[in-house]
Amino acid sequence: MSTDAGAGRRRRVSIRDYITDGSLAALCDELSALTGASVQLRDERGELIDNEGGLLIRGDAVEDPVEVPLLVEGARIGSLVMTGWAGDNADYQHTRSILALLGRAASELCADVSELRGRVKELGVLERLSSLLVGGGDPADVLKAAFGSALEVLGLDAGSLVLLPEDADGIARSNDESELVVSASSGLSDEWLESGTPLSRNRVFDRHALDGEVVVSEDLLADPRVIEPQRCVRENLRSFIGAGLVVRGRPIGVMRLYSRTVRTFSEADRRLLRSIGQQGAAAVEQARLVESRARSRRVKRQLRLAGAVQARMLPTMLPATPGLQIAARCEPSSELGGDFFDVFERGGRVVVLIGDVVGKGIAAALLMSAVRATLRAYLEQVDDLSRVMAMANDAMCRDSQPNEFATVWLGLIDPGTGAMTYCSAGHDPPFVVRDVASGAARIEELHGEGLVLGVQQDEEFPSRAVELHEGDVLFAYTDGVTDAASFDRQRYGRARLHAGVLEHLGRDASATASRVLDQTMWHVRAFSGLADRADDETAVVVRVGARAAERV
């Protein structure tokens, strides 16, 4: 199939485009000699073709002709015409059957040639677009090439390629398409391109195209689906064909092409436009995937940097307080965690702080930093733990969302006397292991009564007091430790934590705080196996009676 040079549209398809060696005309001549009738091959305009493939000027008038049309995809490309029969009726019927079979064979041959030519043309276009894709071409260039190829091979006059927003999951039914972005266009005025009015009612053309159809309107002026036919008149558009750009069911855009004359679109036309649309969609998807991966790498890098900053906010050196051994560890489940701890000296006493904010990720990390900094600032100014906790709660209620809260446990230890005051805001109760040296160690949990921070203003957080004796082990932790799960989804639980600490101290009654912490965290990991850590795991261990402080 070919196009008129510079015309921008196809000329009519003819039998002369397919059988050019005169063989079919020669068959007609032989049939004429056998029957005595005149059997002629004519083109789509009714002009006679001789057996050299050229035109014979014999005049067009025939009397009582028998005509067999030659068709390709429903389009008439020529005909076989028989006139001047002089034989008997039986031979006449037999000859008509031969003529019909010859016409059918010729049509099938031409249809095969048309199919082959269409496939070759399609492969040529797709090969060109694929080379751009493989070569890492700019997606805008690939889309323009796809759009230009569609106009060229289909012999159309105008069109546009529009893209949906990247996060769109479909196209609206409203008669407004202002959200679309024109990626390529040709032969259309600025007024047409900038208009927010779609071509079809409820944007049915685009919606069907994005459902995988190739949408056709052979006469826009007579199509009831068109909103304003007069717009088409002013733009000099008469026929339309459109296809969606869709990748794995996700809509990306629509290619809209127009002819300035009434046009019939073949199945080959539809198939070709669908293939071009798929290649264009692949280009956009590839570009978005590359950008998404680059964006993901940037986010991961930022998360790693933020995680490093967050880790530096936790103490790396614990107080070297005579009479106390202190060890602490925080193992986040991702780059950014919501757990925190702090241990520092204040006025000759040691502050032990451990907490857990709701959620994970960036939001939890930011909230964790704020809560820890707020508590530490108040602890530098106020001795009363209940008041510190109440002030932090009021600040958090004022500055956070209703679904943002934190659990906190706060202890203040006098290393000289062993007296400890503590206060809890909804945190899992730490415990003290007593009578370790006696061989009959026991667990004493340190329960508190306060609500979590950030839920209700003016909440009260009662403090309590206990005595720590030489050899006692204080173990504070977050719920990530007890919520650790095995492959069969069994929870580690508080009972296993208590039993694990007692078992280790039973084997080594003089174990240091660091040793107790290491063994306990190892026991949790052994229970979980290779299962992913579902939550941050944080613990602080204080043992009374030692003289050397330990590193984290």
Q: Looking at residue 476, which CATH number applies to its domain?
A: 3.60.40.10
161 and 121 within one domain: no
Where does residue 526 fall: left (phi above 0), alpha (psi -120 to 50 degrees), or beta otherwise?
alpha
Residue 62 lies in a domain: yes
pLDDT digits (tens, 9 = 90+) for 304-340: 665 565 566 677 788 888 989 999 998 877 655 678 8
324 and 229 within one domain: no
Number of domains in the chain: 3
Model confidence at 358: pLDDT above 50: yes
Q: Which helix (H) or strand (E) holds 503?
A: helix 493-507
Question: What pLDDT does residue 75 have?
Answer: 83
Place of tokens 């057996």: 51
Residue 5 lies in a domain: no
361 and 225 within one domain: no
User: Using an 8 Å Cβ cutoff, are 101 and 70 in contact?
Assistant: no
* Residue that is last in its domain, among 83, 107, 129: 129
271 and 150 within one domain: yes
pLDDT digits (tens, 9 = 90+) for 126-174: 666 666 555 555 667 778 888 888 888 888 999 999 888 865 555 655 6
156 and 125 within one domain: no
What is d(CA 357, CA 367) in angstroms, rounded to the nearest whole number?
7
110 and 195 within one domain: no
Q: Which residues, including other chains, have CB under 8 Å from residue 373's CB and lie 6 or more apart?
A: none
Q: What is the residue range of 456's domain?
A: 315-544
Question: What pLDDT does residue 294 have?
Answer: 67
Residue 303 lies in a domain: no
pLDDT digits (tens, 9 = 90+) for 98-137: 999 999 999 888 888 877 776 777 666 666 666 655 555 5
What is d(CA 319, CA 128) in angstroms, rounded to the nearest whole number?
70
Residue 8 lies in a domain: no
455 and 382 within one domain: yes
Please list the residues that pair with 408 across neighbouring strands. Answer: 355, 426
Question: What pLDDT does residue 62 have?
Answer: 39
| Phi and psi at residue 246, to the nearest 5° | -135, 135
What is d(CA 446, CA 453) in angstroms, rounded to the nearest whole number?
18
458 and 374 within one domain: yes
Residue 237 lies in a domain: yes
Tell me the three state secondary structure of residue 350. strand
281 and 401 within one domain: no
Q: Looking at residue 155, which CATH number applies to its domain?
A: 3.30.450.40
507 and 366 within one domain: yes
pLDDT digits (tens, 9 = 90+) for 523-546: 998 898 876 676 788 999 999 984
171 and 118 within one domain: no
178 and 110 within one domain: no
* Residue that is last in its domain, among 290, 323, 349: 290
Question: What pLDDT does residue 251 have?
Answer: 84
Residue 435 lies in a domain: yes
pLDDT digits (tens, 9 = 90+) for 245-284: 887 778 888 999 999 999 888 888 888 888 888 877 777 7
Q: Which helix (H) or strand (E) holds 75?
A: strand 75-83
Residue 298 lies in a domain: no
Give the pair of three-digit tokens for residue 313: 């906010």
* Residue that is last in its domain, among 83, 112, 129: 129
Residue 307 lies in a domain: no
